[in-house]
Amino acid sequence: MTTFLGIPSVGAPVRSSPGVGHLQGSESFPTAARRALGDSQLRSNIGRATTTIRGKRARVVGEVPDWEELREAGRTLKASTMARLPELLGQLEEQVTAAGGTVHWARDAAEANAIVTRLVQATGADEVVKVKSMATQEIGLNEALEAAGISAWETDLAELIVQLGHDLPSHILVPAIHRNRSEIREIFRREMPGLGTELPPDLTDEPRELAMTARRHLRRTFLRAQVAISGANFAVAETGTLSVVESEGNGRMCLTLPRTLITVMGIEKVVPTWQDLEVFLQLLPRSSTGERMNPYTSMWTGVTPGDGPQEVHLVLLDNGRTAVLADEVGREALHCIRCSACLNVCPVYERTGGHAYGSVYPGPIGAVLSPQLTGMTGDAVNDSLPYASSLCGACYDVCPVKIDIPSILVELRAQHVEAAAASGRLPTPEAALMKAAAVSMTSPFRWRLAQRASRLGRLLARGRDGQRRIRSLPPPLSGWTGTRDLPEPPAETFRESWAREGRS
Amino acid sequence: MRIALFVTCLADTLYPSVARATVTVLERLGHEVVFPPGQTCCGQMHVNTGYQADALPVVRHHVEVFEPYDAVVAPSGSCVGSVRHQHARVARRAGDEALARRAEAGAARTYELSELLVDVLGVEDVGASFPHRVTYHPTCHSLRMLRVDDKPLRLLRNVRGLELVELPSAESCCGFGGTFALKNADTSTAMLADKMRHVVGTGAEICTAGDSSCLMHIGGGLSRLRSGVRTLHLAEILAATDDPGAEVAGQTVPVGVVR
């Protein structure tokens, strides 16, 4: 099934550009997770931060009497938007153009980076200020600009910490969640003097002192910059209005001071009408920061002569989204409004942090979004992401637009197995075991034989009567017995004892 | 009421005492329990590991075996969750709409034990006696797929002599997740470590839950650490009485826990 989006492209929908941007790491999830789990500083920082934000969210969501109706409204709006995405994107382009903006279409990360680089070069600027944006992190825009000799300065406090630390974001909302304040102090002391910001010699790790230091550092950049680059939380098709939702006001500095404003936005961010924002602006802050209302909600419609940026561009980014939209189960991942509530409640994310996912989209939503954007081949690194979940369902419960993440994870696991089979990578030992289990489970006779075979486990059990346990098994079951015992299989299964007693 | 026992492959093979206890509780309440002998497994392992083509015949087999019964009970939130939320999807994904409809009809008659007792049979006091300090772990699928809510707790609060202690962060996953425990053994263990810390911190002698699978995980960790805390399925506690002649004494409770 293909879905035409009105994007001037040829052939089938493309996945994200391989090797460009940050949608795939270099190691599979279990490997990367193992290293993260051993980092006690990371475990402590993330455990503390997610627990705090989880509690805040639960409190403010609990006080909204019609929260479930709001979630359903959000889900319905997103589903109907996706169903007529081509039409709405066309309308958005018309309205932005009519308001004096220029719309560009980018099939993938490489095209988007090239468009933005060209636009910046045309202004003659050699630096840009950036509003916190997932889309530009996704396509690796900063690296592309740097390769063209353009410095990109992150202005969101957490993104600044990540950038100065030569690090990668580990959370959608709080990119530096893996850092604590004493680490941040060290990063500032190491990096800021070289960029022209003098630091007081007695700088402590008090949050206020650190924030004021960042403020001094950023203020000079804001006043100097001629070009700003942003993402967008929403784009209203009927008016051509773009919107950024943020907490610090640094975004608004970028959106209002420079002469040129370039916005890179995933095509799924469009909403049909202005009134639809009413739903999302209630859902988003409570779900993401645990705030009742968002502190800085900026909206702009094209160019306003004499006020704000006089040159406004919108780059509409596909980068695999059309391919996701074509998947009847997986497309729901495009409903995501990037609140990160699913990360904060995820028991896996809470232990491993975001870097283990290898993508700028970590946590449960990343586990369903990243492999779909890059495509699964049967043995790609991102093929491991749909398995990075115990399917506990906590993500589905908190999602403000009710994305059924567990069901998408299960579907993607099926697609991965099918991709592996199609590329000749099956049968693996696992596939052979699954086939054998299915064969035994469709015949009571064969099932009894399999149960009898499992009784061989009695030979492996050790310990005193009544407390006999299996403490060691060969791979792959050693994954279990490395940290957990197994009970000794009983001498008789339930069905055997039932039959022995002559019951039916 | 005539109730068919969907024993679950795990209880049948590794925890027959859980199946036995389920029968004991229902018979004590005056119901007839039958065991459809053709049953094997619900196929959840196949579905959740990505082997949907292999799951399809297992799902069909389950649907056929339980089709003749008006009420089906399983001592597992996870297996009932699979029947209720996955079987029809597996059938539809394979293009078998007829099987999907039959699966939906069967799912509507399939209950997790606490659901059957509280919602269908209207019982919160099953006449059990279990004088021990117990903490309850709400398993993810019973909590978030089935929404059993506080039904297991209501049943436990009516057990004579039982001291129920609250488990901190109870709603956090224990890290089992089926093949997740093998494929992501390190992350699974990190989750288990926190669950065990909370269980041990309650000072409870026993951790109970409605799923043998999660209890196998939590219990396997507690046993490895020689923590002195045991796991018992909810059904085993509900089956326990202070009648020394009752079947439950010898059959359902591991040595050294009762008396």
In this predicted structure, what is the pLDDT of residue A427? 73
Contacts of B7 in chain A (CB under 8 A): 494-495
Task: Classify domain A29-321 at the CATH superfamily level.
Answer: NagB/RpiA/CoA transferase-like (3.40.50.10420)
What is the tens place of the pLDDT at every residue in B204-241?
Answer: 999 999 999 999 999 999 999 999 999 999 999 999 99
Q: Mutate one of A404, A465, A498, A501 to test the B interface: name it (highest B CB count within 10 A).
A: A498
Interatomic CA distance for residues A57 and A291, integer angstroms: 8
Any A CB within 8 A of B26 CB: no
Name residue A53's amino acid: I
DSSP string covering A382-450 = GGGGGGS-----HHHHH-TT---HHHHHHHHHHHHHHHHHHTT-PPPHHHHHHHHHHHHHT-HHHHHHH
Interatomic CA distance for residues A164 and A192, integer angstroms: 8
What is the tens place of the pLDDT at every residue in A355-414?
Answer: 999 999 999 999 999 999 999 988 889 999 999 999 999 999 999 999 999 999 999 999
What is the tens place of the pLDDT at every residue in B72-123?
Answer: 999 999 999 999 999 999 999 999 999 999 999 999 999 999 999 999 999 9
Contact between chains at A483 and B20 (C-beta distance less than 8 A):
no
Contacts of A489 in chain B (CB under 8 A): 13-14
What is the tens place of the pLDDT at every residue in B30-84?
Answer: 999 999 999 999 999 999 999 999 999 999 999 999 999 999 999 999 999 999 9
Place of tokens 């082997």: B51
Tell me which residue of B222, B201, B203 sits closest to B134, measured CA to CA. B203
pLDDT at A4 over 90: no
Contacts of B16 (CB under 8 A, 6+ apart): A490, A492, A493, A494, A497
What is the tens place of the pLDDT at every residue in A16-34?
Answer: 877 899 999 999 999 999 9
3-state secondary structure of A154: strand
Any B CB within 8 A of A98 CB: no
Interatomic CA distance for residues A22 and B232, integer angstroms: 46
Predicted confidence band at A464 (pLDDT cuts at 50, 70, 90)?
A: confident
Any B CB within 8 A of A449 CB: no
What is the tens place of the pLDDT at every residue in B126-170?
Answer: 999 999 999 999 999 999 999 999 999 999 999 999 999 999 999
Looking at residues A303-316, what average pLDDT do you find?
97
Is the CB of residue A483 less than 8 Å from the CB of residue B192? yes
In this predicted structure, what is the pLDDT of residue B243? 78
Contacts of B147 (CB under 8 A, 6+ apart): none
Q: Which of residues 143-172 of A touch B (CB under 8 A)?
A: none
Any B CB within 8 A of A438 CB: yes
Looking at residues A456-481, what average pLDDT do you find?
90
Q: Which of residues 481-500 of A touch B (CB under 8 A)?
A: 482-487, 489-490, 492-495, 497-499
pLDDT at B259 over 60: no
Place of tokens 């004088």: B131
For A356, name the nearest residue in chain B, comparing CA atoms only. Answer: B187
ipTM associated with this complex: 0.94
Any B CB within 8 A of A385 CB: no
Interatomic CA distance for residues B175 and B220, integer angstroms: 12
pLDDT at A424 over 90: no
Contacts of B217 in chain A (CB under 8 A): 484
Predicted confidence band at B246 (pLDDT cuts at 50, 70, 90)?
A: low
Question: Measuring CA to CA, how many Å separate A339 from each of A287, A289, A293, A401?
Answer: 6, 8, 13, 10
Tell me the CB-side half-sphere exposure of residue B145, using CA atoms within 13 A: 23
What is the tens place of the pLDDT at every residue in A257-290?
Answer: 999 999 999 999 999 999 999 999 999 999 999 9
What is the tens place of the pLDDT at every residue in A85-126?
Answer: 999 999 999 999 999 999 999 999 999 999 999 999 999 999
Task: Please name the member of B15, B35, B43 whose beta carbon is closest to the beta carbon of A503.
Answer: B35
Contact between chains at B51 and A489 (C-beta distance less than 8 A):
no
CA B177 to chain A, closest CA, distance in angstroms equals: 4
pLDDT at A5 over 60: no
CA B158 to chain A, closest CA, distance in angstroms equals: 28
Name residue B201's amino acid: G
Any B CB within 8 A of A414 CB: yes
Task: Please name the member of A30, A485, A492 whose beta carbon is closest to the beta carbon of B184.
Answer: A30
The phi and psi torsions of B131 (rounded to 5 degrees) equal -80, 70
Interatomic CA distance for residues B147 and B141, integer angstroms: 8
Q: Kindly list the domain boundaries of chain B, sorted by start residue.
A: 2-120, 133-251
Is the CB of residue B120 less than 8 Å from the CB of residue A372? no
3-state secondary structure of A137: helix
Contact between chains at B188 and A390 (C-beta distance less than 8 A):
yes
Q: How is chain B split among helix, strand and coil, in percent rounded to 5?
A: 50, 10, 35
CA A296 to chain B, closest CA, distance in angstroms equals: 33
Q: Which of residues 102-161 of B touch A (CB under 8 A)?
A: 140-141, 143-145
Query: A162-169 long-range contacts, Cβ below 8 Å, gap at least 24?
Result: A164/A188, A164/A190, A164/A191, A164/A192, A165/A191, A168/A22, A168/A355, A168/A360, A169/A137, A169/A354, A169/A360
Interatomic CA distance for residues B38 and B33, integer angstroms: 15
Phi/psi-derived region of residue B142, left when phi > 0, alpha when psi is between -120 and 50, beta in every other case: alpha
Predicted confidence band at B255 (pLDDT cuts at 50, 70, 90)?
A: very low
Any A CB within 8 A of B34 CB: yes
- pTM > 0.80: yes or no: yes
Q: How many CB atoms neighbour CB B68 within 10 A?
A: 9
Question: Measuring CA to CA, how many Å separate B170 from each of A37, A493, B195, B239?
Answer: 22, 31, 8, 24
Asked if the B133-251 domain carries CATH number 3.30.70, the reply is: no
Q: Which of residues 190-209 of B touch A (CB under 8 A)?
A: 190-192
Any A CB within 8 A of B20 CB: yes
3-state secondary structure of A230: strand
Q: Which of residues 212-241 of B touch A (CB under 8 A)?
A: 216-217, 219-221, 223-224
> Which sign, positive or negative, has the C-alpha torsion A92, A98, A100, A103?
positive
Contacts of A432 (CB under 8 A, 6+ apart): none
Mean pLDDT of chain A: 94
Q: Kindly list the domain boundaries of chain A, sorted by start residue.
A: 29-321, 444-500
